[in-house]
Amino acid sequence: MTDFSAITAQLADQAIELPSWAFGNSGTRFRVFGQAGVPRDPFEKIADAAKVNELTALAPTVALHIPWDKVDDYAGLRSHAEDLGVGLGTINSNTFQDEAYMLGSLAHSDDAVRQKAIDHHFECIDIMNQTGSQDLKIWLADGTNYPGQDDMRGRQDRLADSLRQIYERIEDGHRLVLEYKFFEPSFYHTDVPDWGTSYAQVTALGEKAFVCLDTGHHAPGTNIEFIVMQLLRLGKLGSFDFNSRFYADDDLIVGAADPFQLFRILVEVIRGGGYGKDSGVAFMLDQCHNIEKKIPGQIRSVLNVQEMTARALLLDREALEAEQRAGNVLGAHQVLMDAFYTDVRPALAEWRESRGLPADPMKAYAESGYQEKIEADRVGGDQAGWGA
């Protein structure tokens, strides 16, 4: 087993982007339960995200969602973030809440609706230029509910043309990242349902286009780490959206449903060169906290990723490869399980303290008084959030 001291330099490089919308009121399509102290604007969302980074040193950037995070002065928003010790990250587009998008957006058969969606992405690119963001992330609700509702091949052709127009606006140093989801809200077919469709679309665009893998966007039983391996092998894994699900939704705290799966994913990330600041693979959370408090939910999430990353880094790869070459099935499995079952929490707590961080960030937040302060201060105005 690798010694913990040998992996601390790699752990120090870890960066997990937080989603601004995780701090607002959000939940399921049935009910969103409002909470006291929820941010009323993007500036307060960023302040809450900065608190997570202050206690963990794991979350140096915040992703924005447009139009949820629209402001009049993006330079001011960027300055506000930098003053709090964080940066602005991925810009996420939104083509699933406008009435015009009932039958689709970038794949719509009506050229006027399709142009409206394209223009929205042009706006997002303009925002990227003002915020210093690198990635434009696109997730589409496009699809159909009934056989025969629309021509599936025609929709793929229109989607490809829309993405091409958006891609042509992407500047050097920026990336287009296309997310996929196998169903919901469309139930017969989804226009970007799997990694293969996303890969085919972005490969046709060029070297600045990549796939976003959301860990909750797969059918039950899917071997997600195989997909991670394949996209890294092909050089097209751009980013992760980390979360968990038990049945069909995908907004629970990462690692909550299957910690072993998260470990296996991170093993493949590290093995494939997808970990570290120079890897080109961005780690981000994509979660909604409906019944748990927002900030502790994000703290717990980044800690879960850190803990499983530490276990994956401790994997004795030389021993694993030796057992694999020898054809020792159970021996190889045992090497993997030894790393997974390692309790890294005491070592991580001691390491955090050596860096001037709280040993237990969850406890530190509970004792900080921050939650009580925002609940007292944020009275009045409209709370941020959205409900289905």
Strand partners, 240: 213, 283
CA distance 161 to 378: 45
- Tens digit of pLDDT at every position of the chain (388 positions): 679 999 999 999 999 999 999 999 887 777 788 899 999 999 999 999 999 999 999 999 999 999 999 999 999 999 999 999 999 999 999 999 999 999 999 999 999 999 999 999 999 999 999 999 999 999 999 999 999 999 999 999 999 999 999 999 999 999 999 999 999 899 999 999 999 999 999 999 999 999 999 999 999 999 999 999 999 999 999 999 999 989 877 789 999 999 999 999 999 999 999 999 899 999 999 988 888 999 999 999 999 999 999 999 999 999 999 999 999 999 999 999 999 999 999 999 999 999 999 999 999 999 999 999 999 999 988 888 864 3
Segments making up each domain of the chain, as ranges = 13-298
Give CB contacts under 8 A, 24+ apart, made by 106-114: 106/138, 106/140, 106/142, 106/158, 106/159, 106/162, 106/163, 107/140, 107/142, 107/155, 107/156, 107/158, 107/159, 107/162, 107/191, 108/142, 108/158, 109/150, 109/154, 109/155, 109/158, 114/158, 114/162
Q: What is the pLDDT of residue 388?
A: 35
Q: Are 358 and 55 in contact (CB under 8 A)?
A: yes
Q: What is the pTM of this model?
A: 0.96
Q: Are 84 and 51 in contact (CB under 8 A)?
A: no
* Amino acid letter, 40: R
Q: What is the pLDDT of residue 387?
A: 46
Per residue, what are the HEC states of the chain?
CCCHHHCHHHHHCCCEEEEHHHHCECCCCCCCCCCCCCCCCHHHHHHHHHHHHHHHCCCCEEEEECCCCCCCCHHHHHHHHHHCCCEEEEEECCCCCCHHHCCCCCCCCCHHHHHHHHHHHHHHHHHHHHHCCCEEEECCCCEECCCCCCCHHHHHHHHHHHHHHHHCCCCCCCEEEEECCCCCCCCCEECCCCHHHHHHHHHHHCCCEEEEEECCCCCCCCCHHHHHHHHHHHCCEEEEEECECCCCCCCECCCCCCHHHHHHHHHHHHHCCCCCCCCCCEEEECCCCCCCCHHHHHHHHHHHHHHHHHHHHHCCHHHHHHHHHCCCHHHHHHHHHHHHCCCCHHHHHHHHHHCCCCCCHHHHHHHHCHHHHHHHHCCCCCCCECCC
Q: What is the pLDDT of residue 1?
A: 67
Cβ contacts of 284 within 8 Å, gap of 6 or more: 16, 17, 18, 19, 63, 89, 90, 239, 240, 241, 242
Q: Are 282 and 333 in contact (CB under 8 A)?
A: no
CATH topology of domain 13-298: TIM Barrel (3.20.20)
